[in-house]
Structures are given as structure tokens and as C-alpha cells.
Amino acid sequence: MTDKPSQPIIEFSNVTKRFGTLTVLDDFNFKVAKGEKVTLIGPSGSGKSTVLRILMTLEPFQEGRLALAGMSYHEPNGKGPFKASEKHLHQIRSHIGMVFQSFNLFPHMTVLRNVVEAPVRVLGLPRGEAECRAVDLLAMVGLADKKDHYPSQLSGGQQQRVAIARALAMRPRVLLFDEPTSALDPQLVGEVLSVIRGLAHEHDLTMLLVTHEMRFAREVSDRVCFFDKGRICEQGEPNAIFGAPKEERTREFLQSVLS
Amino acid sequence: MNWTAYLPMLWQGAVVTMTITLSAILFGVILAFVFGILRVEGGPILSKVALCYTEVFRGTSLFVQLFWFYYALPLVGLSFDPITTGILVLAAHAGGYGAEIVRGALSSVSVQQMEAARALNFNRLQTLFRISLPQAVVEMMPAFGNLTIETLKLSSLVSLISIADLTFSAQSIRNITLDSTSIYSVTLVCYFAMSLMLMVVVRVIERMVRRGNAFPRAAHS
């Protein structure tokens, strides 16, 4: 995959996503530049998590075009709900990592194995090398001393930090965060946010973050997108969106979450 | 003649019962995993085949299955000695129930686990063997424990195809001594002792599986 400098790494063109009769994304257009850090905010049910789930190929979409660094999700003669072969989806997924709201660590594996398993099985890295990198990543999220623990022995904040290390171990170019702190006790939110903040300085890593932490969104994002009813209602630099929102609905939403 | 003189005969019967039960459970568990996995992951055709297998063996009487395999199989040129027939039928029966246990446990692994596996780009087989099965096995253990005891008790039916198991020996001794109460009391105790032993083994295996997994549930089980 070769990137032209001007080419967006993510490009939704007129994408429509329906669950039965419910339209979640409606003629949706959205571009993200390589290395950009974009935060998606908006009321629940406005389609922001769906954007991430479609990107991760956890959900198919019905109409429009989606491309990752120029590679289309749908194949010309692709079959099934994803209109693509498993091999093609595998290739797309190899560029993307995802951090889930409920962490989703594998409960039967130690922290180290959680981080090592996919690089060894999927990327084919030698176990020793994968373990070295895993230990580095765990050190980066501040959990090197927990590598032999099981997820059930960790706090929510620690589990989420392991989940971030696990996603990074696959060396994604795009990292998706789906409400990474929403399931955490308030006192554990900070430790996860500070790890994400550290990643925001990685120049090459493209980040999409769905969150309700408005102050954090303002601090780390290059761009904030306000979602409403399956479309981006307003977007811009954090200071513009939070400081002087143009749309009435954006103002209402921000008032309701910030007050 | 005192029935105690026949205890060696009863012991031999108990050995036969234990052999048949253990073999049937071993093969039954293998069948359970094969067909249970096919039910979930077999695609449109193989999952139907697995469904047929489970429904046929769960839906017909073990008694009739035993006789059918004993008398009908030789007609198509497949002739086994009674013990092998007994083991095969019991195994197929246990496998039918076991496949449902495996299917149920596999389906109980959360969607979130599947999504995490997908996001990490594991393929279907890797997801099955590395993510779902290890978690599902823990869920299966209590049900497999029941199935083990059930198989032990059902194994008494093999006496009907002239296998000298514990039940068969008990009946023979009773026919000679006519002392029904004593002989059946001892037989009951024998079955109970064997089921206790099997239960202990199942518990040990269950504990090993749980320890290997370190689930939160393990702490208060």
C-alpha cells in the first residue's frame, strides 16, 4: 500500500448504514488525514461508534464507498454482507487497531499473552521478539510489573491500558478508541487518558476517538466532529467547536454535557 | 451357598463396567467436541450433519440403539464383539448429549470476545481454538460431570447384549443364590462408589481447567 501525501488515510464517501429500518449513518462523508487525531462527540445513537465499528469491519455498510489509504472496503465482485472476501478484510484490518469500551481482554490469558498472542499467531513474529516488544509496550502503559497477572486481577483502568498495549502490538496505522473510559470508575479515568495523551504525540499514528470526556477531547484533538442523527453536524478545531460553536444543536449538546 | 463367594465375579463385572464407561466417555467427549464445534462452525452443510447426529442419538432410546447396533450392523457386514458395540453405542449416545453441551458453551462466549479477536485479525480457526474454546471448556465442565455419571448408570444397559458387566454379574449371582436383597445392595454400593470416583476425577480436571484460566469465577466456586 503506497500513500500519496495528499491522500486521506480514511475516506467515507456517501456511506449509508442501516440496522433494519433504522438509518444509523445517512449519506455520510468523512475524511481523515494521515496522523490526524480526530475526536467524535455527540449524543448516544448519533452514529459515532458505528463509524469506528464499520472501519474495524465489525459492521458492514449498505451504500457508498469507504477506503483506507486508497484501498476500498468493498471489492468489485465481493460477496456477503461486507461485499469483500475474508482475505481482503484481513488485509484492511491489519492496518487498524481498536480499543473497546469494555476492554475485552482475553480472560484466560495472562497480560503478557494477551499482548503477545496476536503478533505471534497473526503476524508470525518469533515469540521471543514479540515478548520483548510486549514488555516495552506494557512499560509504556506503566504495567510492566503486571505482565504475569490475569485480567481479573487488574482494575478497570489497568485492563484498559493493557488493551491499548495489545492493540499497539499489532503496529496499526490507525487506532480507534470506542469510549475507552466510559466503563471506568471516575478515579481510574485519568490513568487511561494519560496513556492516550502520550499516543497523541505519535506523529504517524492516526487516531479516532469516541468520547464523552470533553476537556480531554479539546486537549488532544486536531479536530472535533459533532455527530447528530447519523451525520457530522459541525466540525472544526477544538477551540472553535468548544469555544464558539456555530450550530444550535452543538451548543445544546455541549451545554448539556458541560454543565 | 453364601453370596460372598461370588464377590470375585462381581468385581470382574465392576471392572468391565468401569472399562466400558471410561472408554465410552473418552470417545464420547471426542465426538462431542467434533460435532459440537461443527454445529457452530461447520457452515451450512456440516452443521446440519452434526445436528442430525445429535438429534438421532438424543431422540432415540439407548436400549433400542444397543440392540439395533448389535443386530443390524452385522447385516451390513460390520461385526463387532459385544463390548466394542457397547462402547460405541454408549459413546455415540454421550457424544450426542455432549455435542449440545459444547455447542451451548461455545455460543455463550461473549460477542465482545469475538469482536476483540476480529479486531486483532485472528482468523476463524485461531479464534475458535485460542479464544472461544478455552473459555467455553470451563463452562462445559459441570455438564460433562453430569454426563459422566449418566453414562456410568446407562452402561448397565449393555448387560442386555450379554456383556458381563456389573449388572449382568449381579443378575447371574442372584439367579444362582436367589439372595436378591444382599446382591443388589452390594451392587448399588458398587455403582455409587464408582460414581464417586468418577466425580472426584471430574472435579480434579475441572480445577485444573479453571486454574489454567484464572477466571474471576474461580475464586468463589
Per-residue cell: B148? 459422566
> Which residues 4-43 in chain A show a CB within 8 A of chain B?
none
Instruction: For residue B149, give every residue at least 6 positions away whose Cβ sits within 8 Å of its Cβ, in sequence order, or none.
Output: B195, B198, B199
pLDDT at residue A244 greater than cutoff 70: yes
pLDDT mean over A115-124 = 96
Residue B214 has pLDDT above 60, yes or no: no
Domains identified in chain B, total number: 1
Q: Residue A116 carries which side chain, given as an amino acid letter?
A: V
Confidence of residue B217 (pLDDT cuts 50, 70, 90): very low
Contacts 24+ apart (CB under 8 A), A196-200: A196/A164, A196/A220, A198/A140, A199/A164, A199/A168, A199/A175, A200/A37
A167 or B80, which is more confident:
A167
Inter-chain touch B130–A117, beta carbons under 8 Å? yes
Find the domain containing B119 and state its range: 3-220
Share of chain A above pLDDT 90, in %: 91
- Long-range CB pairs of B118-121 (<8 Å, 24+ gap) are B118/A56, B118/A57, B118/A58, B118/A93, B119/A56, B119/A58, B119/A93, B119/A96, B119/A97, B119/A98, B119/A100, B119/A167, B120/A117, B120/A118, B120/A122, B120/A166, B120/A167, B120/A170, B121/A90, B121/A93, B121/A94, B121/A118, B121/A122, B121/A170
The reported pLDDT for the residue numbered A258 is 80
CATH code where residue B167 lies: 1.10.3720.10
> Is this prediction's pTM over 0.80?
yes
Give the pLDDT mean for B172-193.
92
CB pairs under 8 A between A and B: 66
B110-122 per-position pLDDT tens digit: 999 999 999 999 9
Residue B221, pLDDT score? 30
Q: If DSSP states are collapsed to H, E and C, what string results for A38-61?
A: EEEECCCCCCHHHHHHHHCCCCCC
**Type of residue at B201:** V
Among B121, B126, B131, the residue with its CB nearest the CB of A94 is B121
- Average pLDDT of chain A? 93
Of A140, A195, A202, which Cα lies nearest the Cα of A174? A202
| pLDDT value, residue B215 | 56
- Which residues between 165 and 184 in chain A have a beta carbon less than 8 angstroms from any beta carbon of chain B? 166-167, 170
- Closest Cα of chain A to B205: distance in Å? 16
Q: Which residues, 6 or more positions from B114, have their beta carbon under 8 angstroms from its beta carbon? A: B127, B131, B132
Mean predicted confidence (pLDDT) in B70-99: 91
Residues of B in contact with A90 (CB under 8 A): 121, 123
Query: Considering only A97-106, B181-190, B208-217, which range has the smallest mean pLDDT?
Result: B208-217
Is the confidence at residue A256, as pLDDT, over 70?
yes
C-alpha cell at A212: 464523552
* Antiparallel, parallel or unpaired: β A223-228 and A37-41: parallel
Q: What is the pLDDT of residues B145-164, one digit of tens each?
A: 999 999 999 999 999 888 99
Asked if residue A116 lies in contact with residue A130, where contact means CB atoms within 8 angstroms, the answer is yes
CB contact residues (below 8 A), chain B span 13-32, against chain A: none
What does the pLDDT look like over A24-40, one tens digit per residue? Answer: 999 999 999 999 999 99
CB B183 within 8 A of CB B29: no
Tell me what pLDDT residue A251 has: 94
Give the angle subtended at the CA of A50 by the CAs of A47 and A54, to the nearest 5°: 145
Which of A104, A123, A150 to mutate against chain B (most B CBs within 10 Å)? A104
Query: Residue B119: which of A56, A105, A153 has the nearest Cβ?
Result: A56
Q: By the 8 A CB rule, do A143 and A180 touch?
A: no
Q: Which residues in chain A have their CB less than 8 angstroms from residue B105's CB?
A: none
Question: A117 to chain B: which residues are within 8 Å by CB?
Answer: 120, 130
- pLDDT computed for residue B213 by the predictor: 61
Helix (H, G, I), strand (E, B) or coil at B90: helix
Residues of chain A in contact with residue B134, where contact means CB-CB under 8 angstroms, are 108
Torsion of CA B54, B60, B63, B64, to 10 degrees: -120
Residues facing A195 on adjacent strands: none
